[in-house]
A = this chain, B = another copy of it.
Amino acid sequence: MRKTASTTAPVHPLLAERWSPRGFDQAHELGDDNLTALLEAARWAPSAQNSQPWRFLVTRRGEPAHGRLFATLASGNQAWAGAASALILAVARTADDDGRPRPWALYDTGQAVAALVTQAQADGLAVHQMGGFDSAAARAEFGLDDTLTPVVVIAIGRRDAAAELPEPLAARETAPRTRHPISDLLLPARTARTPAAA
């Protein structure tokens, strides 16, 4: 089954066919070349003043660090994410060494991970990002200082449509993808002084 996005104008297949599965092939291993391509894609993302605030803690299935990162996941994510070939903790450098905040760090890290996801899609890999993890535990476990903010754990691997998943996850795996209509995303260009008509 392909869960291609339903769009009102043609969108590039790398974007339209991307979705976030939970069924991963637990025999697939992420090779060094694949991993490097993913990181290169992230590396070349744009950022405010070219500040490049994204950081990655990369763990592959079978490595000791993989188990430590897996242990920070919410139980609902532990139900499936261990089968992915790699778990990567995406971290934003949200402050300078002197503590001054970097307002675009989270935004730019999102751009970098989006590039990584597009590269994965191009390489026949699937990605599922998780906000459901214990950020404080990850910070403590890996000794992250206060300038760094853990953002998501990224599961990467080869999709396995036949992977066994508990409900309700199995049902979600085949459910249609949904989004707000474009009209809900558009802000009106009204002025603060001239409220829009009802």
Is A109 engaged at the interface, CB distance under 8 Å to the other chain?
Answer: yes
Give the docked Cα–Cα distance between A11 and B179 (Å): 29
Give the docked Cα–Cα distance between A12 and B114 (Å): 13
Is A161 engaged at the interface, CB distance under 8 Å to the other chain?
Answer: no
- The contact of A190 among B110, B118, B142, B186, by CB within 8 Å, is B142
Interface size, chain A (Cβ < 8 Å): 80
Is A171 engaged at the interface, CB distance under 8 Å to the other chain?
Answer: no
Which chain B positions have C-beta within 8 A of A83? none
Tell me the nearest residue of chain B to A122, going by C-beta: B12
Q: Nearest Cβ in chain B — how far from A101, in angstroms?
A: 12
Decide: A40 near B118, CB < 8 A? Known: A89-B187, A187-B56, A192-B141.
no
* Contact, CB under 8 Å: A41 / B15: yes
Q: Nearest Cβ in chain B — how far from A131, in angstroms?
A: 4
